[in-house]
Amino acid sequence: MSKTIAIIGGGLSGALVVLNILKQSNRATQILWFDAKNAFCKGLAYSTNEEVHLLNVRASNMSVFADQPMHFANWLTQQKLPFSSQDFVPRTVYGQYVSSTFNELKESNTLVKIICLAEEVTAINKKGNDYRVSSNEDYQVEQVVLAFGNYLPAHPRSIHSDFQQSNRYFQNAFSSQLLKHAITQESILIIGSGLTMIDVVLSLNKHQYKGKITAISPHGYLPNAHIENSLPAISSYINEQQTYTLLQLFSLVNQQLKYARANQYSIHSVIDTLRPHLQRLWLGFSLEDKQQFLRHLRHKWGVARHRTASQSMQVINELLNAKQLELIRGRVYDIKSSVTGFEVQYSAKGQDNYLNAAILINCTGPESNFEKLAFPLIKQLLRDNIIRADALKYGIYASENGQIDKYLYTIGPPLKGILWETIAVPEIRLQAQQLGLMLVR
Read off the pLDDT of residues 89-123 as tens digits, 9 standing for 90 and up.
999 999 999 999 999 999 999 999 999 999 999 99
Residues 173 and 316 occupy one common structural domain? yes
Q: How many domains does the chain contain in total?
A: 3
Q: What average pLDDT score do residues 368-390 get?
A: 97
Higher pLDDT, 235 or 300: 235
All residues at 6 or more sequence positions from 221 whose CB lies less than 8 Å from its CB, including other chains: 193, 194, 299, 300, 302, 303
Please indicate, yes or no, if residue 261 is contained in any of the structural domains.
yes
Please indicate, yes or no, if residue 157 is contained in any of the structural domains.
no
Q: Output the average pLDDT for the chain.
A: 95
Euclidean distance between CA atoms 224 and 300, whole angstroms: 10
Helix axes 287-296 and 246-262, enclosed angle (nearest 10): 50
Q: What is the CATH number of the domain that holds 33?
A: 3.50.50.60
Residues 177 and 209 occupy one common structural domain? yes
Euclidean distance between CA atoms 167 and 360, whole angstroms: 10
Euclidean distance between CA atoms 152 and 366, whole angstroms: 5
Residues 11 and 104 occupy one common structural domain? yes
| Strand-pair category, 331-338 with 403-405 | unpaired
Q: Which domain holds residue 176?
A: 162-224+307-362
Please indicate, yes or no, if residue 211 is contained in any of the structural domains.
yes
Euclidean distance between CA atoms 128 and 433, whole angstroms: 28
Please indicate, yes or no, if residue 238 is contained in any of the structural domains.
no
Residues 262 and 300 occupy one common structural domain? yes
Residues 53 and 179 occupy one common structural domain? no
The secondary structure of residue 386, as a DSSP letter, is: S
- Asked if 347 and 333 count as a contact pair (C-beta separation under 8 A), the reply is yes
Euclidean distance between CA atoms 265 and 249, whole angstroms: 20
Under the banding of pLDDT at 50, 70 and 90, the label for residue 275 is confident
Of 138-147, 181-190, 234-243, the range with the lowest mean pLDDT is 234-243
β-sheet bridge partners, residue 33? 7, 116
* Closest residue by Cα to residue 313 from 224, 386, 373: 224
Please indicate, yes or no, if residue 234 is contained in any of the structural domains.
no
